[in-house]
């Protein structure tokens, strides 16, 4: 298989959260000519820890596209060291978020830039460029928009408390987004969408990664009114998330962990849904519920870097064939 020549001069916008989204975006990045991919990244996970502005999903996408990512964890930096964190322990400071030594440079530069009035968009561009990334990584917003998780056992939690501190074990009763009435998207995001020939929603958590990404004013509406195809890669395989709490969360929020639920969640936003071959049998149910939606069943599990490009190629070729 080879990438359809059609895509060689086309621009693609990918919407991504953390690890899964970053892997698929990396596949696209490897296939497409320099500059033709824009990854719009969730900032709902962003938080301030020890006075540092941390943007976990932006960092995961950036490190992954730059080839710096730790391939085992998916987040963080390859061959990372933890000496600052070890010293924090000696100081008896409760540090529950993983702050690696190399990674700290990213947080320090970002924090310093924000304090000096630089936008998250400009800082991200500067950092990505220094790491040699030739595509574009954009935060969904330069404003604060924080995912808040209401839980049965532990009350109201900031996203990273829920995700890292409590290892997504508490039962979620609802998800809200602080700042959703005021957060705007950016002109860079709108320009990328205006120039795009296709939009892809990466295999990220629909409720915790894509939902906050779409919250900034105008973003969801812009995609709903698109004249170009938009497809999503489902994060579920056999009713389970490859990584993270997607299926657990869906169940807790009374949404069966099925491909039909994913299609329903993205209804109005997507023209096609990519599911794993394991779930090919769910295709009929999805088609029955959403007759206009095209379905591709293919291998969606990305076990290595090669898999990322193969999946991206399948998705693009199929989109060209079926939706354009």
Binding site for a copy of itself (CB under 8 A): 50-52, 77, 80-81, 83-88, 90-93, 101-106, 108-109, 111-112, 115, 126-127, 130-131
Closest distance between a copy of itself and the C-beta of residue 103, in Å?
Answer: 8
**Residue 36 or residue 106: which is nearer to a copy of itself going by CB?**
106
Q: Which is nearer to a copy of itself, 78 or 285 (CB)?
A: 78
Q: How far is the CB of 56 from a copy of itself (least distance, A)?
A: 17
Q: Which candidate, 40, 22, 14, 18, places its Cα nearest to that of 232?
A: 14
**Closest distance of CB 100 from a copy of itself, Å:** 8
In whole angstroms, what is the distance from residue 227 CA to residue 220 CA?
14
Least distance (Å) between residue 135 CB and a copy of itself? 18
Pairing of strands 198-201, 236-237: unpaired
The smaller minimum CB distance to a copy of itself, of residues 126 and 165, is found at 126
* Measured CA distances, 31 to 91, 279, 312 (Å): 47, 26, 8
Place of tokens 């959260």: 17
Q: Provide the minimum distance between the beta carbon of 179 and a copy of itself in the complex, in angstroms, as a whole number.
A: 21
At residue 92, the 3 state secondary structure works out as coil
- In DSSP notation, 179-199 reads TTTT-B--HHHHHHHHH-SEE
Q: Which is nearer to a copy of itself, 86 or 284 (CB)?
A: 86
Q: CB 116 → a copy of itself: shortest distance, Å?
A: 9
> Are the C-beta atoms of 231 and 319 separated by less than 8 Å?
yes
CA torsion through residues 190, 138, 17, 253, sign: negative
Question: Would you say 105 or 324 has its CB closer to a copy of itself?
Answer: 105
Residues 51 and 315: their CA atoms lie apart, in Å, by 41
**Of residues 52 and 190, the one with the C-beta less far from a copy of itself:** 52
């Amino acid at each position: 298989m080879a990438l359809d020549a059609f895509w060689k001069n086309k621009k693609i916008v990918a919407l991504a959260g953390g690890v899964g989204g970053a892997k698929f975006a990396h596949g696209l990045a490897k296939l497409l000519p320099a500059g033709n991919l824009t990854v719009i990244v969730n900032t709902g996970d962003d938080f301030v820890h020890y006075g540092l502005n941390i943007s976990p999903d932006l960092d995961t996408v950036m490190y992954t596209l730059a080839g710096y990512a730790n391939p085992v964890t998916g987040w963080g930096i390859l061959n990372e060291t933890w000496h600052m964190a070890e010293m924090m322990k000696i100081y008896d400071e409760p540090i529950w978020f993983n702050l690696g030594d190399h990674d700290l440079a990213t947080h320090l530069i970002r924090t310093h830039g924000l304090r000096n009035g630089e936008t998250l968009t400009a800082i991200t561009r500067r950092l990505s460029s220094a790491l040699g990334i030739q595509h574009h990584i954009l935060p969904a917003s330069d404003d604060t928009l924080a995912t808040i998780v209401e839980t049965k056992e532990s009350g109201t939690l900031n996203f990273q408390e829920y995700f890292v501190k409590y290892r997504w074990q508490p039962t979620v009763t609802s998800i809200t987004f602080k700042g959703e009435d005021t957060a705007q998207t950016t002109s860079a995001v709108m320009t990328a969408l205006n120039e795009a020939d296709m939009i892809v929603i990466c295999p990220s958590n629909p409720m915790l990664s894509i939902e906050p990404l779409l919250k900034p004013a105008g973003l969801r509406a812009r995609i709903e009114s698109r004249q170009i195809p938009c497809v999503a890669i489902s994060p579920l395989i056999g009713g389970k998330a490859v990584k993270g709490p997607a299926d657990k969360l869906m169940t807790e929020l009374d949404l069966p962990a099925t491909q039909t639920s994913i299609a329903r969640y993205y209804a109005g936003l997507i023209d096609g849904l990519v599911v794993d071959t394991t779930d090919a049998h769910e295709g009929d149910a999805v088609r029955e519920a959403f007759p206009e939606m095209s379905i591709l069943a293919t291998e969606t599990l990305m076990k290595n870097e090669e898999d990322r490009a193969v999946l991206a190629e399948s998705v693009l070729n199929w989109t060209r064939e079926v939706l354009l």
